[in-house]
Structure 1
Amino acid sequence: MSKASYPQNYRLPAEFEPQEAIWLSWPSNKESCPKTYHKLQDKFGEIASTISRYERVRINAPMLSHMNIRLSIADNEGDLSQVDIYEHNTNDVWCRDHGPIFIKHNETGKLAITDWEFNAWGGKFPPWDLDNAIPEKAAAALKMERFTSKMILEGGAIETNGKGTLLTTEAVLLNPNRHGGKPGNKAEVEKELKAMLGVKDIVWFKKGIEGDDTDGHIDDIVRFIREDAVICMVEPRDSDPNHKVLKEIREKLDDVRAPDGGKLEIIEIEMPQAIEMKDWRLSRLPASYANFMIMNNAVLVPIFGQKKKDAAAEDKIAECFPGREIISMMAKDLVTEGGAFHCISMHQPK
């Protein structure tokens, strides 16, 4: 059931809060990733089985592939009793961006789904009609209330502490390609985010990292690990194009307030070395350690085959999540297509 009205007394929970499940959209459209299609199938089997050891995994996939998905998860020693597969066809795998964005009622704790428009990051990768239909299908499958918005929004473009603060970038949310060719109106965008997601403070950064198809999603740069602490990516080499962008973001974070009015704790992690690709649509891949996936009792951390940098990032992320197991997994095949573990997953709060 869809509501044209705005949700009342709901909030956008943080990812580090208890989760019911993680949603994935299985790679099923060879045209969206012709060169990496089979590698991605294997990688998704590995990822889904990892999630299944900690919580439910809910998968959007065409009927024909359901059997193979179960086999793949079983081959990777996943827990099939924790796997729900829905006959939901998709154009692409980026569930963070086209999946349902869940909100939670402040008093009853009841969940609802917010359903925004999706246009494949400003019309870059047509078609996207199947992806845009996923939140509605998820709401039907879960028998959940659904609130719709005409605004274009991807889940990877927003980051919250669950206490009313939302981080985002102007390069995405005000981009003319998300607003019918005209620059977005900041006041209108803020109004819609506040009305739909129950957030109070919106912190705008200018832009994102190099090579990012999305125009600069926040989930490659800054992530909340607690309501009063963030991980922030930094690039020490000033010759690198990300150096200045990340430095500005890091400096701006000093002005962001924690819920108690104090300063945020800011944990800096160095970016991986640039991964360059020859003869590829991305000359540089948007590789970032910030694109980790938080699960109940675990964190799935992307690594890129750079021993020193990978190890330093793993150590810092482990310090940020005491009591959660840190699972490192090679993310090069995924990032070749433009994202990592956070980009392919959407968490459903408890």
Structure 2
Amino acid sequence: MIEQIVLHGGHVTILAQDDQDKADTLTRLSKTLKSPLEAQQHTRVLVVPHNDIWMRDVGPIFLVKGDTKKTLSFDWTYWGYKGHTNSSDSEIDGAICTSSSELLGLECTPINLASEGGDREYNGLGTLIVCEAVELQRNKSKSKQQIEDCLKEAFNVKKVIWMKEGVLEDQQSFVGKITDDVYTCCATGGHVDEFVRFVDQKKVLLAYIIPEEQDDPIASKSHQALEENMKILESETDQDGSPLQIIRMPMPPTTIIEINPSDGIYSAMQEYIFQDNSIIDGH
């Protein structure tokens, strides 16, 4: 992926865990790209300790106004997971924004709001889509209006459109089984990037469940949520009061996998989700 980005003139910033990891990364880049000089010109490696790969959610948000560039840092709650919000892992990832901003020489403005990149979808002209189930769960001490006001100020947007809920397969795992003996696997609770996206300034892609899948117990609940979100989008407008163009995109069929104690995610499910350290039937 990095090779393709560089090939098309792009630049890549990579986070390394420590100096040794940085050195190893630079060596790999020099071998992968056409020359060490190309690697130096198009890539940079910052030493910023981190636990998670989802920079979309936990990484800095870059703002540009004229010649001024800065970053925003939101509160990090590890997607609102029980027992993990104030852990050492959460503290490390919560510092990614300030650490990387400092290394880049950018001012980092803290925002008194827990919000993740995966739950924010913009049209680039002043309209933002978020999910109520996510934003309210992360910020229980704030009202919906307070959250909206904070988002408008932080991102200089005029309009916030609130989806109600996400798809069922993105339900937070600690909520419990979604059907029979099926749990979600470290899901977010309803990030909008799972089901609704702007494709241009007025067009929105919204997922839907095809009729053949609507009898599936998981897909049927996602169907209800998506159709409710459809009604919301149909009644909403963009920042200028113009209606949105909504294009429906089919969701793939539900996929269920079995995990075992030898799988890395198994221990994470036990430690962070099932606080009694038991997973039903050992799977």
Contact 2:62 2:71 (8 Å CA) reproduced? yes
In the superposition, the TM-score normalised over structure 2's length comes to 0.73
Per residue, is there more helix in 1 or in 2? 2
| 1:281-300 aligned within 5 A | none
Q: What is the aligned partner in structure 2 of residue 9 from structure 1?
A: none
Q: What is the aligned partner in structure 2 of residue 309 from structure 1?
A: none
* Distance verdict in 2 for CA 1:149–1:251, change over 3 Å: same
Task: Pick the aligned partner of 2:20 from 60, 64, 72.
Answer: 64
* Distance verdict in 2 for CA 1:75–1:256, change over 3 Å: farther
1:214 aligns with 2:188: yes
1:134 aligns with 2:99: no
CA RMSD of aligned residues (A): 2.3
Report the Cα distance in structure 2 between the residues aligned to 1:90 and 1:253, rounded to whole angstroms.
37
Q: What is the aligned partner in structure 1 of residue 78 from structure 2?
A: 120
Contact 2:209 2:222 (8 Å CA) reproduced? yes
Q: What is the aligned partner in structure 2 of residue 246 from structure 1?
A: 226
| 1:1-350 aligned within 5 A | 47-54=1-8, 55-62=10-17, 63-73=19-29, 77=33, 80=39, 81-105=41-65, 108-124=66-82, 125=84, 126=87, 127-175=89-137, 178-179=138-139, 182=140, 184-212=142-170, 213-236=187-210, 237-239=213-215, 240=219, 241-279=221-259
Report 1 or 2 for greater relative contact order, CA contacts < 8 Å, sequence distance ≥ 6.
1
Per-residue deviation, 1:68? 3.3
Per-residue deviation, 1:123? 3.4
Residues 156-177 of structure 1 show CA distances to partners (whole Å, capped at 9, x for unaligned) of: 11111121111001111001xx
Report the Cα distance in structure 2 between the residues aligned to 1:261 and 1:188, rounded to whole angstroms.
22
Q: How many residue pairs get matched?
A: 229
* Distance verdict in 2 for CA 1:183–1:146, change over 3 Å: closer
Report the Cα distance in structure 1 between the residues aligned to 2:33 and 2:223, rounded to whole angstroms.
41
Contact 1:49 1:74 (8 Å CA) reproduced? no
In the superposition, the TM-score normalised over structure 1's length comes to 0.60
Question: Structure 2: 5+ residue runs without aligned partners?
Answer: 171-186, 262-283
Contact 2:130 2:192 (8 Å CA) reproduced? yes
Residues 69-124 of structure 1 show CA distances to partners (whole Å, capped at 9, x for unaligned) of: 3454456558624211100110111101111112222xx25222111111111135
* Distance verdict in 2 for CA 1:171–1:61, change over 3 Å: same
Report the Cα distance in structure 2 between the residues aligned to 1:227 and 1:280, rounded to whole angstroms.
45
Per-residue deviation, 1:279? 2.6
Q: Give the match's secondary structure for 1:254.
A: helix
1:119 partner letter? T
Report the Cα distance in structure 2 between the residues aligned to 1:231 and 1:75, rounded to whole angstroms.
39
Report the Cα distance in structure 2 between the residues aligned to 1:233 and 1:163, rounded to whole angstroms.
23
* Distance verdict in 2 for CA 1:275–1:51, change over 3 Å: farther
Report the Cα distance in structure 1 between the residues aligned to 2:55 and 2:102, rounded to whole angstroms.
17
Q: Among the aligned pairs, what percent are the same residue?
A: 28
1:238 partner letter? Q
Per residue, is there more strand in 1 or in 2? 1
Report the Cα distance in structure 1 between the residues aligned to 2:208 and 2:29, rounded to whole angstroms.
35
Per-residue deviation, 1:49? 3.1
Q: Give the match's secondary structure for 2:168.
A: coil
Question: Structure 1: 5+ residue runs without aligned partners?
Answer: 1-46, 282-350
